[in-house]
Structure 1
Amino acid sequence: MTVLSADQLTFSYDDQKPAVFKKLDFKIENGTFGLLTGPSGCGKSTLFKLLAGLYPQYGGQLLTGKVTLDGQNIAEIVPFARAGKVAMLFQNPSRQFAMRTVQEQLQFALENLQLSPIEIRQRISAALTELKLEKFRSRQLTTLSGGEQQRIALATILAMDSEIILLDEPFANVDPHGRQQLLADLKKLQQTRHKTILIADHDPSGYAGIADRLYHLSVHAEQIERLPLKNLQLAATTNVAVNYQSLNKGSLAWQQLQLAIGPRKLLTGSNFTLPEGQLGLLSGANGTGKSTLFAAICQQHDYQGSITFQQKSAQKFKLKRWADLVGIVFQNSSDQFISLKAASEINLSAKASHHPEYWTQTRIDQAITSLNLKNVLDQVCYQLSGGQQKKLQLLSMLVMAPPVLLLDEPFAGLDAESLAAALALIKQATKALQLSILIISHQRLGVVETMDYELQLSQQQLTLLQKDGEQKDA
């Protein structure tokens, strides 16, 4: 029986900053399925990296306490032996990959455990089969969607056969069906292979009947609170629908748009005009091509057909000018930042804003406060929590206020309060500045109620969903 515990942990990233938590005690109960909740920036990811033995070796400083694995200080255990006991799935799966293809990535991970070639082959096949990912074996990791990458990262963890599995926001970019399937897969691991599972997630929906432990971590906490499981029943996902509106006219449109990745077709014959002053939701399962559509609109992916702005072909614009008209919030926040500090990132956006009359310093300060970013402005962007990075990234692009703004999973890792604040800012700017904003989000609860229309990408077709349930080709 593997025992993993944190004793009297006080951890800080910087001598000049408050500790993330102070004298924190936490013991993972063997064989349990736990859910850890808490607001953005409270330290969930930090705790997981400490429990996995990654910190303080690769960041920050442990001021008091220690993490022990079967009674031994985890920092003293060699990495391959540690990984055989405790594995962690990162919030951003691409950071976990070191190789080109799925097969190569799984093989690399298992070679680091010093397994024999025969056992490596057996484990790879078993993991891919169990998660129904065999068809991805030869695929290049860079061609996979965020949700598909997350499933491959989970397959890697499964192949490693670690006794304790830590998953940090594992469903942030996964569609609802994939989320429930992964939860079922993890529950099966717990029940049939006696794994210990601990997941950090802002969204508690879907865990009723799955998780048997519920924990809550507060900002600057000294203890992790154990909550009753009945709280999970209250968080059950309800059916919500977009408040469909009649569409306005807009400047950006596409005609007979066709998309593909290699031989795989993603979209055929689509026509649509992004309305101004309205929020749109782009939905669809993982791998259908939503992010690829955004890349094509940004002139970063080949396409057939035409994309126009004010009836002028996108291909007649210089790329720099097009990027000024069509902005995008990337799925991975750290890919967006161009400044070291959070305050500098926002200041640069303010200087380049299309609407400085709207984004006054007073309004920017109010937005910073509503997003709870005031205390992190002098921190390095890359050292912020995943949720804080998302909020900083979103605010920076909203302040830029290009006529068209595409948001790719902007709410991943946000707690309910942060989500509400972010959506309020997006809605206000959209209406006030008559922006055309289209959002990819697999999270529906708390999101779709704010949307004015929904486009669904499925089976190579882009469909405008109507209020009465009818569908119309887009």
Structure 2
Amino acid sequence: MATLSISNLTFSYAKTGSTILNKVNIAPEPGSFNLLIGPSGSGKSTLFKLMAGLYPEYGGEITSGTVKLNGQEVSTLVPYERARHVAMLFQNPSRQFAMRTVKEQLIFALENLQFKTQTITELVTATLKQFGLESFKNRQLLTLSGGEQQRVALATVIAMGSDIILLDEPFANVDQNGRQTLLGDLKKMQLTQGKTIFISDHDLTGYLQLVDHLYEVDTVEKKINEINRERLNSVIQESPVHSSLGKTSLFGWHELSFKVGSRILLTPHSFELPQSQVGLLSGANGVGKSTLFAAFSHQINYQGKISYKNKGSERIRIKKWARIVGVVFQNSTDQFIKLTAQDEITLSRQNSLHPEYWTEQRISAAINHLHLSDVLDHICYQLSGGQQKKLQVLSMLIMSHPVLLLDEPLAGLDAVSLKNVMQLIKQTVIDLNLSSLIISHQRIGVTEFVDYELSLTDRTLILKGG
């Protein structure tokens, strides 16, 4: 059974940069189930990358201390040897993929560990069955939903058979049923196979009966401390949604339907998005929520009619339509155009449809509200996942499209950041009379800001609680 230990570790991303982790000491008990919590940007992903040996090889600098795997410096081991013992699931699953299809990705990962052909065949078949992915094996990875990609990435990591499994926000885009199933599978692996499981998560639901050790990032001392598991008893309950629709609307659809390949995702449906309200679009992974947004933004073919101000969208030029319907993508990095966070915000203000609202003072207040002041000069792609989400949402709010669609804008956010983002979305939607719809599997801390909920179920949209 592999052992991993971090001793007196201090790490920063540059010699002159601020310290990310300071004199950290942690040694996960072999065969234990561990949970790491802390605010967005506090260094959780950085710690995991150090444990996996990705840092400092691919970034940053260890100024003191060691990271050892089985008593040997992780950085001295060749990649495939490290991966035999320590496997890591990234926060953004698409960054983990190198091949075209699900099956090809599994084979590729196992080939890199130099397994025999027969062993690879057996492992791929067993893994697809374990995760209920048999029907997915020939699907192209880029056509899968975010939650489906997350399941494939997790399946790939587990198929590698590593003793220590590091999972960075593994359920960010996974529906609640899928989350509970995967958590159960991980616990079973820990108990029956002696795996050491280490998860970073902002959502604490479902962990109380699973976790052996709970760790928290001390944002002042920049250390990692083990804390009492009783913290998991303080999980906040979700507020129910009582849908109440406003009377004014500029955007809607009539007899809208669409499919992907031969698979029908939405049968003919009609609805109008109310102004000055925030709607929640819910539904299981893979039912077509992101595809619905793609139809609204004219990225896929559809049947029926989408209209704005009673004018069919087919009669509006695509360049103008892009100024009407704005989409916050599921993957933050797909949205960034500029290099630094400040440049991204500046570009949004230059193209804002409501520059009179988004004054320098309001933007500065929003930046402070989202705790982004200290990272404005940072490269967008080097921010933490939570910081990227906050920057992405702020940039799109500044653009102020009349119709704002947000696809999993809260994934990877801690409770405080989530509340701050939802407050900003809600206030902007009300002040500027926008029509807004949010896709989110995270419900705790979200539903209290929602005016109505649409659930995509059985190929139709149902207004819940109203």
TM-score bracket relative to the smaller structure: over 0.9
Query: How far, CA to CA, are the matches of 1:345 and 1:68 in structure 2?
Result: 39
Query: Equivalent residue for 1:248?
Result: 247
For residues 317-356 of structure 1, what are the structure 2 equivalents within 5 Å? 317-356=316-355
- Residue of structure 2 equivalent to 1:470: none
Q: Quick check: 1:242–1:450 contact (8 Å CA) kept in 2?
A: no
Which residue of structure 1 lines up, in the alignment, with residue 73 of structure 2?
73
State yes or no: 1:133 paired with 2:133: yes
CA distance in 2, matches of 1:244, 1:183: 31
Q: CA deviation at 1:238?
A: 2.6
Distance 2:14 2:338 in 1: 19
1:6 — aligned with what? 6
| 1:181 CA displacement | 0.8
**Displacement, 1:251?**
1.1
1:107 match: 107
Q: Aligned partners of 1:153 and 1:447: how far apart in 2?
A: 26
Match of 1:57 in 2: 57
- In 2, the alpha carbon distance for the partners of 1:345 and 1:225 equals 35
Match of 2:290 in 1: 291
Aligned residue type for 1:434: N
Q: In structure 1, what is the equivalent of residue 383 of structure 2?
A: 384
Provide, for residues 74-104 of structure 1, a one-character-per-residue CA deviation record: whole Å limited to 9, x for no partner. Answer: 0111111110100000000000000010000
1:358 aligns with: 357
2:126 is aligned with 1:122: no
Match of 1:92 in 2: 92
Equivalent position amino acid for 2:257 in 1: Q
Give the equivalent residue in structure 2 for 1:308. Answer: 307
SS at 1:20 equivalent: strand
Paired residues in the alignment total: 466
AA matched with 2:85: K
Higher mean C-alpha deviation, range 222-231 or range 196-205? 222-231
1:71-470 matches, within 5 Å, as 71-219=71-219, 221-235=221-235, 238-467=237-466
SS in 2 for 1:207: coil
Whether contact under 8 Å (1:254, 1:271) holds in the other structure is yes
CA distance in 2, matches of 1:390, 1:239: 22
- Structure 2 distance, partners of 1:176, 1:466, is 19
Amino acid in the other structure paired with 1:160 = M
After TM superposition, the structure 1 stretch with the greater mean CA deviation from structure 2, 396-405 or 213-222, is 213-222
Q: 1:221 to 1:139 in 2, by over 3 A?
A: farther
Q: Deviations over 1:426-451 (max 9, x none)?
A: 11111110000100000000001110
Per-residue displacement from partner, 1:99-131 (whole Å, max 9, x unpaired)?
Answer: 010000000000000011100011111111112
Mapped to 2, the partners of 1:394 and 1:239 lie a distance apart of: 23
Q: Distance in 2 between matches of 1:246 and 1:455?
A: 11
Indicate how the Cα distance of structure 1 residues 211 and 7 shifts in structure 2: closer, same or farther if over 3 A, else same.
same
Distance 2:77 2:412 in 1: 31
Q: What secondary structure sits across from 1:302 in the alignment?
A: coil
The AA in structure 1 aligned to 2:28 is I
Preserved contact between residue 245 and residue 274 of structure 2 (Cα < 8 Å)? no
TM-score of the superposed pair, with normalisation by structure 1:
0.97
In structure 2, C-alpha distance between the alignment counterparts of 1:337 and 1:220, rounded to whole Å: 30
Q: Which whole-Å deviations, capped at 9, do the CAs of 1:59-80 have from their partners, x for residues lacking one?
A: 1122222210000000111111
Identity %: 56
Is the Cα contact below 8 Å between 2:348 and 2:399 reproduced in 1? yes
Letter in structure 1 aligned against 2:248: K
* Worse-matched range after superposition: 95-104 or 315-324: 315-324
Q: Is the 8 A contact 2:20 2:222 kept in 1?
A: no
The alpha-carbon deviation at position 14 of structure 1 amounts to: 2.5
1:23 CA displacement: 1.6
Query: Which residue in 2 is equivalent to 1:20?
Result: 20
Aligned 8 A contact 1:20 1:220 in 2: no
User: 1:471 is matched with which residue?
Assistant: none
CA contact (8 A) 1:26 1:224 kept: yes
State the Cα deviation string for residues 213-242 of structure 1 (Å, max 9, x = none). Answer: 11101325443111111111221x634311
Residue 293 of structure 1 aligns to a residue in which SS? helix
For the aligned residue pairs, the C-alpha RMSD in angstroms reads: 1.1
Secondary structure of the corresponding residue to residue 374 of structure 2: helix
The answer to whether the Cα contact below 8 Å between 1:288 and 1:460 also exists between their aligned partners in 2 is yes
User: Aligned-pair distance for 1:44?
Assistant: 0.3
Q: Distance in 1 between matches of 2:287 and 2:96?
A: 23
Quote how far apart the aligned CAs of 1:27 are. Answer: 1.0
2:322 partner SS: helix
Secondary structure in structure 2 of the residue aligned to 1:224: strand
Paired residue type of 1:290: K
Question: Residues 457 and 124 from structure 1, CA distance in 2 versus in 1: closer, same or farther, beyond 3 angstroms?
Answer: same
Contact 1:39 1:218 in 2 (8 A): no
Alpha carbons 1:22, 1:220 under 8 Å: kept = no
Distance across 1 between alignment mates of 2:131 and 2:125: 10
Whether the aligned pair in 1 keeps the contact of 2:252 and 2:306 (CA below 8 Å) is yes
